[in-house]
Amino acid sequence: MQLTELPDPTPGTDELLVEGIAVGVCGTDKEIVRADYGWAPPGRDRLVLGHESLGRVRSAPGGSGFSAGDLVVGVVRRPDPVPCGACARGEFDSCRNGRYTERGIKELDGYGAELWCVETDYAVKLDPRLADAGVLMEPTSVVAKAWEQVRRVGERAWYEPKRALVTGAGPIGLLGAMIGVQQGLDVHVLDRVTDGPKPRLVEQLGATYHHEDADEVAGKLEPDVVIEATGAGGLVFSAIRNTASFGVVCLTGVSPSGRKIPVDAGSVNREIVLENDVVVGSVNANLRHYRQAADALAAADPDWLRGLITRRVPLESYQDAFEARSDDVKVVIGLDGSR
Ligand code: BGC
């Protein structure tokens, strides 16, 4: 990982030129830095990092609906070139052939730069009040999609969920809990820590925080919905085993392979079948989910959102953002010199 001077980008005719405000750091960025994930653009051996963006438009093509000063976020994924049936319909988050590209992750430079360009079709305008917290847009789009998946799966029969359990109180878990609360659900969040910002953020949302054993918590709650945001095998199976009848478990956490845990596969299968349960995986987000996320953020308490960003690191100290501290929730790198 390196901080490098690059030539200023020149926007194409359908592109915005954007001054970066901040870029969020997540587990995927850390995997890329460890060379466990990520792809440089073809023919190059380096990639500009950053997929959780926030910036201010410097220039926009006339008639594009954007103008200088707008607060914007760039969409992460682009459709595959074939395109597959899903990408052809704007559902590039469900690309079937794996040839999609992703800014800052897969073959396209990211948004971790003082100046970046983005196609107007892949830029999303944010409420001007979100200048401090709009960098949470991309992770919010991921959970907006997860909740949409849950609803669509649920609606295959009568569906009025009451109780949701979110496993993991990182940014994805907390933003997932926020959307659950906005939907009027009784939301419970499970994490390991007993103090620090996470329990407080959960309580401020009006949700209930738990830190006890997963089977015990989930077994008592019997949630209608689980948003799993850790990728930890034990939690995943605990969630699957403990839902109410017709339960939907949405998996959003990416886990390393190679960790083994004993599972009573027969009883897991039996319960899923006899209760019409569903386990659904969810990754990335399309433009519809970004719009849902923009609405969710606009409806949220701006102070609560700011509280999720527990560390703002100036660009010169970018390496600090990649070192985990015990009370981190979301760490962001400031790109505009203001923080
Ligand atoms: C990003 C997604 C992306 C996924 C896989 C996640 O960290 O939020 O947008 O699709 O990584 O590359």
Ligand 1 centre distance from Cα of residue 313 (Å): 22
In CATH, which superfamily holds the domain spanning 15-125+305-334?
A: Medium-chain alcohol dehydrogenases, catalytic domain (3.90.180.10)
Which pLDDT belongs to residue 123? 98
**For 302-318, what is the mean pLDDT?**
97
In angstroms, rounded to a whole number, what is the distance separating the alpha carbons of residues 4 and 7? Answer: 10
pLDDT band per the 50, 70, 90 thresholds, residue 337: confident
Does the Cβ of 28 fall within 6 Å of ligand 1?
yes
In the chain, where the domains are located? 15-125+305-334, 141-281
Is residue 20 within 8 Å of residue 112, measured between CB atoms? yes
In CATH, which superfamily holds the domain spanning 141-281?
A: NAD(P)-binding Rossmann-like Domain (3.40.50.720)
Closest atom, ligand 1, to C-alpha of 283: 10
**For 120-145, what is the mean pLDDT?**
96
Per-residue model confidence as pLDDT tens digits over 194-210? 999 999 999 999 999 99
Res. 55: pLDDT tops 80 = yes
Is residue 209 within 8 Å of residue 192, measured between CB atoms? no
The mean pLDDT value of the chain amounts to: 97
Does the Cβ of 244 fall within 6 Å of ligand 1?
no
Closest atom, ligand 1, to C-alpha of 52: 8
Closest atom, ligand 1, to C-alpha of 106: 12
Q: At what angle do helices 171-182 and 137-154 cross, to 10 degrees?
A: 50
Per-residue model confidence as pLDDT tens digits over 265-285? 999 999 999 999 999 999 999
Q: How many helices (H) and strands (E) does the chain have?
A: 10, 16
Does the Cβ of 263 fall within 6 Å of ligand 1?
no
User: Does pTM surpass 0.75?
Assistant: yes
Closest atom, ligand 1, to C-alpha of 142: 8
Does the Cβ of 149 fall within 6 Å of ligand 1?
no
3-state helix, strand, coil in the chain (%, to 5): 35, 20, 45
In angstroms, rounded to a whole number, what is the distance separating the alpha carbons of residues 35 and 39? Answer: 9
